[in-house]
């Protein structure tokens, strides 16, 4: 008799309550008297898993049976956030889970916080990858995500008297109920003359309200042998396990970005490791479906999430030519038809270049392939642009000089069919500033797909009270079609509705106030304006501009000015090696100590740095934001996605014309957005004529006073040197043009204060922000990728058979 799965009916799948009881016995092997809260969390997670397996298996079966064209997302980072609540919402099981917990004398909320979040990413780029996975499943698109199963995710941040402290994040220490190991799908990867094995771990990605359950496949590194017997027998036990330790280091830890040279060798190894495993896995799938290797680009559309997986261009060529005997030209047309590349930053330091020497040591064959790609490319260019060697040098995949380097962005562009930026402005600047020669050469390759965020996690899960209000006001369809939020427009002037809107927001404020009290011991007034900047700490994002504004506010309040009460909240991690970013945190912490203990600030100003900003904390913060700080130097923030999450939840933005702020403002309307600052073009002009912050400062006594107060040691227990590097940088060089924008920022902040004093007006603006943010759903972004770039169509999943 043929092996078959259980019948695809709901019958036989136990209720969550029954599942929880069974798993306490069958999985945790405990009597109720010994069960911990974490045991109960695991039992609920496993019971939910039981309920999603049917769909997961059916999805794989449907895709295999139909041999569908598949989108493949290659990303070194996935900032997933906890799965349980999201899975409950997407399965429509939240109410059942609540009831089951109640029946067992437990609280669902208490179990939810037991789940450690997989922090397998640094920030926006990794979170975008996670939103995209969820949208692909919700749109019923055949898709798979590939990445690395880091044993330790992004570090945990504590805030001490000296600012940021880091500790490791052992998120797997207590087991992970969401993954399934697939030892049968493991592949060898040769790096630096040694072989490492990548083993697949699969995590289900559930679509909202559909059967589609896609797979996120993360690779874990293993040594081919547990230990070296010869060394072991000779009594050298350390040596016996050395190789194993070295191999497994590959998937040990996620790299904090914004780090300089350090650790480059391991990072390049991680990149080839996960890319090679993923490509080998695709060839396995191809074979399994009886397709030829030359069908690769018909079966798969690959998306490179930034240049981290750009080595895929060379690795796919290697596999096709060396392993599958395809001739070079055919292999090249397959590769360039299959791959597309998304750029996520214009910052020069984030554009990856690998030393040719390092490449030679680790990946000599790939280097040879890159040279071959480059020599053919340059040959073509010589014909097209005769007598222009400098132009060829600028386009070359190899940067010449004393230290020759491989330019991964150039490799990605040459090897791709489409290249996109992540917001209109960014995509334009990508063509004008970063890759102008490429854009002139292949204008049709370049396109834009503006980022988006998933409304399930960022509204339905994060803000249940608002979700309920929306359901009542406009129906529940917004979860699948966020454009339906437009239905709120009609209510933006309705007094009774605004009253309820404020009640929902008040609830979010009280919840966040409780979190703040718990996390940092500061009592804040839930009735004050919540002014929030949460994101990675980086000078280009200009947390120091916001901090200076808080110092000014403090000075004005001390001088007796009457300003509406504000709670200013910061959060975000600094790359451990990025001294200036750490110093900015130190400044905010020092300011918070003084401000929060000053009786004159009581009821007027509170300053909080919330430690360890991550997805879970974001879910608590975004619903409570009144003022969303999106104040990067124009032209430097590729898109931003926190800006979308906040506006979607009813925050008003104070921001520059940067990244997706531009499109948010276009949509919500200039009247509902606090704009300030120079544009990217204006800054380019200022730069061209030689920028110096001093003339700006001389004309700005308030900014001067704020800087002097910091310099006097007021926020550093009299230490005048502590913040010197930050202040000296601002006054002498000011690379991120803080002084050029601080005056206009102050004007916009004053407009915020005035507006806040009219609660009716503020609430109307808040409703309009939510009503007009439907565009920023990641469903819309993914639809654009699927239609314009991947040519992948939805495939509904039904019960097998």
List of residues contacting ligand NBG (CB under 6 A): 123-125, 128, 306, 344-345, 350, 422, 451, 637-641, 659
Q: Is 658 within 8 Å of 425 (Cβ atoms)?
A: yes
Q: How far is the CB of 643 from ligand NBG (least distance, A)?
A: 8
Quick one: 172 or 351, whose CB is closer to ligand NBG?
351
Residue 36 annotated as catalytic: no
Quick one: 81 or 659, whose CB is closer to ligand NBG?
659
- Report residue 413: phi and psi, to 5°: -70, -45
- Of 40, 318, 541, 542, which one is the catalytic site residue? 541
Write the burial class of residue 307 (CB in 10 Å: 0-12 exposed, 13-18 middle, 19+ buried): buried
Q: How far is the CB of 578 from ligand NBG (least distance, A)?
A: 14
Residues 6+ apart with CB under 8 A from 377: 395, 396, 397, 414
- Report residue 505: phi and psi, to 5°: -65, -35
Q: How far is the CB of 626 from ligand NBG (least distance, A)?
A: 22
Q: How far is the CB of 421 from ligand NBG (least distance, A)?
A: 9
CB burial string 254-277: b at 16+ within 10 A, e below: bbbbbeeeeebbeebbbbbbbbbb
Quick one: 101 or 130, whose CB is closer to ligand NBG?
130
Residue 793 annotated as catalytic: no
Q: Is 581 within 8 Å of 163 (Cβ atoms)?
A: no
Quick one: 302 or 423, whose CB is closer to ligand NBG?
423
- Of 203, 641, 653, 770, which one is the catalytic site residue? 641
Q: How far is the CB of 413 from ligand NBG (least distance, A)?
A: 16
Q: Pick from 251, 612, 657: which is nearest to 428 by CA?
A: 657
Radius of gyration of the chain (CA): 27
Residue 407 annotated as catalytic: no
Q: How far is the CB of 786 from ligand NBG (least distance, A)?
A: 18
Pairwise CA distance, residues 59 & 47, whole Å: 20
Residue 645 annotated as catalytic: yes
Q: Is 242 within 8 Å of 191 (Cβ atoms)?
A: no
Give the residue nearest to ligand NBG (CB): 124
Write the burial class of residue 732 (CB in 10 Å: 0-12 exposed, 13-18 middle, 19+ buried): exposed
| DSSP 8-state class, residue 563 | -
Q: How far is the CB of 797 from ligand NBG (least distance, A)?
A: 29
Residue indicated by tokens 């009460």: 565
- Report residue 261: phi and psi, to 5°: -55, -35
Q: How far is the CB of 801 from ligand NBG (least distance, A)?
A: 41
Residue 344 annotated as catalytic: yes
- Of 21, 23, 645, 667, which one is the catalytic site residue? 645
DSSP calls for 38-107? HHHHHHHHHHHHHHHHHHHHHHHHHHHHHT--EEEEE-S-EE---SHHHHHHHHT-HHHHHHHHHHTT--
Cα first-last separation, the chain: 16
Quick one: 142 or 571, whose CB is closer to ligand NBG?
571
Residue 620 annotated as catalytic: no
Three-class DSSP category at 569: strand
Q: Is 222 within 8 Å of 248 (Cβ atoms)?
A: yes
Quick one: 218 or 644, whose CB is closer to ligand NBG?
644
- Of 21, 40, 149, 536, which one is the catalytic site residue? 536
Three-class DSSP category at 626: coil
- Of 243, 410, 535, 566, which one is the catalytic site residue? 535
Quick one: 185 or 785, whose CB is closer to ligand NBG?
785
Q: Is 148 within 8 Å of 110 (Cβ atoms)?
A: no
Quick one: 541 or 737, whose CB is closer to ligand NBG?
541
Quick one: 320 or 644, whose CB is closer to ligand NBG?
644
- Of 40, 51, 308, 344, which one is the catalytic site residue? 344
Q: How far is the CB of 12 from ligand NBG (least distance, A)?
A: 43
- Would you name the residues annotated as active-site residues? 344, 535-536, 541, 641, 645
């Amino acid at each position: 008799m043929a092996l078959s799965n259980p019948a695809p009916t709901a019958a036989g799948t136990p209720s969550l309550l029954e599942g929880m009881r069974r798993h306490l016995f069958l999985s945790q092997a405990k009597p109720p008297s010994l069960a911990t809260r974490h045991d109960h969390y695991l039992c609920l997670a496993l019971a939910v898993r039981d309920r999603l397996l049917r769909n997961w298996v059916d999805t794989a079966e449907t895709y295999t049976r139909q041999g569908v064209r598949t989108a493949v997302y290659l990303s070194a980072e996935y900032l997933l956030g906890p799965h349980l609540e999201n899975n409950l919402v997407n399965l429509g099981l939240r109410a059942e889970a609540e009831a089951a917990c109640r029946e067992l004398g437990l609280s669902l909320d208490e179990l939810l916080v037991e789940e450690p979040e997989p922090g397998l990413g640094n920030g926006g780029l990794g979170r975008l990858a996670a939103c995209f996975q969820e949208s692909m499943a919700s749109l019923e698109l055949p898709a798979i995500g590939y990445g690395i199963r880091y044993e330790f995710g992004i570090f945990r941040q504590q805030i001490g008297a000296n600012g940021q402290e880091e500790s490791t994040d052992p998120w797997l220490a207590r087991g992970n109920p969401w993954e399934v190991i697939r030892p049968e799908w493991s592949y060898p990867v040769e790096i630096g003359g040694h072989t490492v094995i990548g083993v697949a771990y699969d995590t289900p990605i559930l679509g909202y309200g559909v059967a589609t359950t896609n797979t996120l496949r993360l690779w874990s590194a293993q040594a081919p042998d547990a230990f070296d017997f010869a060394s072991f027998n000779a009594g050298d036990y350390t040596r016996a396990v050395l190789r194993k330790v070295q191999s497994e280091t590959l998937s040990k830890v996620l790299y904090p970005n914004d780090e300089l040279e350090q650790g480059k060798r391991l990072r390049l190894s991680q990149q080839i490791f996960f890319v090679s495993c993923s490509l080998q896995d695709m060839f396995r799938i191809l074979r399994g479906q009886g397709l030829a290797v030359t069908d690769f680009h018909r079966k798969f559309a690959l998306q490179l999430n930034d240049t981290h997986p750009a080595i895929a261009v060379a690795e796919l060529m290697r596999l096709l030519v060396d392993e599958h005997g395809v001739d070079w030209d055919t292999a090249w047309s397959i590769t360039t038809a299959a791959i597309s590349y998304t750029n996520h930053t214009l910052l020069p330091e984030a554009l990856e270049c690998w030393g040719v020497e390092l490449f030679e040591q680790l990946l000599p064959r790939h280097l040879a392939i890159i040279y071959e790609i480059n020599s053919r490319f340059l040959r073509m260019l010589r014909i097209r642009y005769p007598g222009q060697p400098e132009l060829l040098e600028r386009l070359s995949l190899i940067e010449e000089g004393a230290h020759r380097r491989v330019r991964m962005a150039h490799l990605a562009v040459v090897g791709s069919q489409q290249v996109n930026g992540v917001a209109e402005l960014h995509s334009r600047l990508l063509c004008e500033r970063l890759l102008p020669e490429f854009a002139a050469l292949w204008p049709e390759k370049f396109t834009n797909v503006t980022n988006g965020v998933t409304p399930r996690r960022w509204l339905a899960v994060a803000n249940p009270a608002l979700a309920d209000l929306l359901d009542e006001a406009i129906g529940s369809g917004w979860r699948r079609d966020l454009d339906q939020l437009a239905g709120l427009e009609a209510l933006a002037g309705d007094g009774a509705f605004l009253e309820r809107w404020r009640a929902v927001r008040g609830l979010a404020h009280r919840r966040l106030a409780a979190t703040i009290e718990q996390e940092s011991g500061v009592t804040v007034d839930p009735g004050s304006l919540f002014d929030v900047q949460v994101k990675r700490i980086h000078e280009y994002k200009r947390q120091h501009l916001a901090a200076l504004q808080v110092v000014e506010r403090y000075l004005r309040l001390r001088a007796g000015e009457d300003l509406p009460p504000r709670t200013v909240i910061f959060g975000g991690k600094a790359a451990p090696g990025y001294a200036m970013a750490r110093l900015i945190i130190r400044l905010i912490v020092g300011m918070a100590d003084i401000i929060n203990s000053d009786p004159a600030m009581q009821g007027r100003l509170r300053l909080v740095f919330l430690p360890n900003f991550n997805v879970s904390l974001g879910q608590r913060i975004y619903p409570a934001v009144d003022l969303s700080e999106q104040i990067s130097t124009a032209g430097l923030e590729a898109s931003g996605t926190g800006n979308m999450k906040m506006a979607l939840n009813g925050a008003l933005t104070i921001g520059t014309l940067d990244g997706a702020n531009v499109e948010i403002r276009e949509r919500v309307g200039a009247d509902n957005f606090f704009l300030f600052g120079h544009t990217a073009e204006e800054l380019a002009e200022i730069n061209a004529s030689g920028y110096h912050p001093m003339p700006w400062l001389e004309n700005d006594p308030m900014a001067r006073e704020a800087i002097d107060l910091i310099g006097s040691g007021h926020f550093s227990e009299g230490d005048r040197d502590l913040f010197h590097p930050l202040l000296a940088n601002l006054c002498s060089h000011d690379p991120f043009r803080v002084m050029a924008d601080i005056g206009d920022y102050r004007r916009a902040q004053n407009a915020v204060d005035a507006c806040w004093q009219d609660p009716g007006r503020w609430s109307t603006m808040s409703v309009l922000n939510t009503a007009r943010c439907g565009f920023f759903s990641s469903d819309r972004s993914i639809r654009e990728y699927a239609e314009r770039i991947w040519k992948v169509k939805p495939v509904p999943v039904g019960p097998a058979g």
